Structure 1
Amino acid sequence: MTVVDSVLGLLPPPLRRLAIKHRELLKFAVVGGTTFLIDNGIWYVLKLTVLAEKPITAKAIAIIVATIASYVLNREWSFRTRGGRERHHEAALFFLISAGGVAINLVPPYVSRYVLDLEVPHVSRAVQEIADFASGSVIGMVLAMFFRFWGFRKWVFPDELGQRR
């Protein structure tokens, strides 16, 4: 019995049916939560140390590392019953869709910092950090998440190429 089956067994029947129906989305959300931690951990380490003057570059690096982890986790867990393309083709599509997600993710923190001037010395350090988190780790990430889920299901791991279980 897998971990997922064990967790599903703990749920009440109506909730279990809903979770099974949306199993792929729930797995995608777990992968997203994991990569959220990777992304933000790397982002804050970089922007508070070696890339203090370049927070958008730090965010881009963090997103790229999290995206690599996302590919492995989504390929091997979330969408393991989908796909069917050769790995290099699938990976190329994954990273192309992810590049669109990176661009979408970077727009809110860029606007926050450089259009709205929510950075030191225009605002306090606390306001800057709250604005960075809200724009880069909440708004940007949520927008990118919807785009990626749609793109991954449609082009990278389409159901018609795999065996749905």
Structure 2
Amino acid sequence: MRIAHALYQRFSQLIHELAKFGTVGALAFVVQLSTTNLMWTVFGVSALAGQAVGTVVATMVAFLGHRHWTFNTRARTGLGREYLLFFIMNGVGLLIQLGCVGTTVGILGLDSPLARNISGNFIGVGLGTLFRFWSYRLWVFPAEAKHMSVASHETTAPPAARAAEEPARQA
């Protein structure tokens, strides 16, 4: 039991971030899956374009959830910086998804809704999710702000640290 408790204590922040990341990701996945399939079936959009539109819409939902809930205890390095890096990292994640769909449709010749969903919405999203979690923690929402923009007006301390400092400033 001591080992399990010690491991939990050591990795508790990571465990909590993973749980929140999964929750926000599940919501964004539902948005992405619904939007992508809507683009394909109702609007007749191509496989790659439909996947791209669904991913962009889900990315906007995910940014709000991750910034304000999943990684809310991490440094704030400026809304513009975080937003830009978030979309760049999601662009890489999108390329991973598109690569999976492109391989399935273009190379393997499997162009059914089932094949598109398996390749893009399950395999592609799965691989993209691994990349996104790693990149968000490393670059988008870092533990500490190492590079602050002069134009940024936001404090770099996590919200919990700012709350703890407030009484000291008022005294």
Instruction: Indicate whether the TM-score tops 0.5.
Output: yes
24, 27, 39: which is aligned to 1:31? 24
Gapped regions of structure 1 (runs ≥ 5): 1-12, 120-127
Aligned residues, how many? 142
Instruction: Note the C-alpha offset of 1:160.
Output: 1.7
- Pair member with larger Rg: 2
CA RMSD of aligned residues (A): 2.0
- 1:49, distance to aligned residue in structure 2 (A): 1.7
Deviations 1:64-90 (A, max 9, x none): 000011101100100011132111111
Whether the 8 Å contact between 1:101 and 1:147 is mirrored in structure 2 is yes
Deviation at 1:51, TM superposition (A): 2.5
The answer on whether the counterparts of 2:35 and 2:54 sit within 8 Å (CA) in structure 1 is yes
TM-score w.r.t. length of structure 1: 0.79
Structure 1 position 43 matched with structure 2 position 36: yes
Q: Distance in 1 between matches of 2:33 and 2:76?
A: 32
- Which residues of 2 match residues 144-163 of structure 1 at below 5 A? 144-161=128-145, 162-163=157-158
| One-letter amino acid of the structure 2 residue matched with residue 70 of structure 1 | A
TM-score, normalization: structure 2?
0.77
> Contact 2:72–2:158 (CA<8 Å) still a contact in 1?
no
Query: Identity over the aligned pairs, expressed in percent?
Result: 29
* Rounded Cα–Cα distance in structure 2 between residues aligned with 1:83 and 1:160: 5
Q: Pairwise mapping of residues 61-140 of structure 1 onto structure 2 (< 5 A)? A: 61-119=53-111, 128-140=112-124
Given that residues 83 and 156 in structure 1 are in contact (C-alpha distance below 8 angstroms), is that contact kept between their aligned partners in structure 2?
Answer: no
Q: 2:168: which partner in 1?
A: none
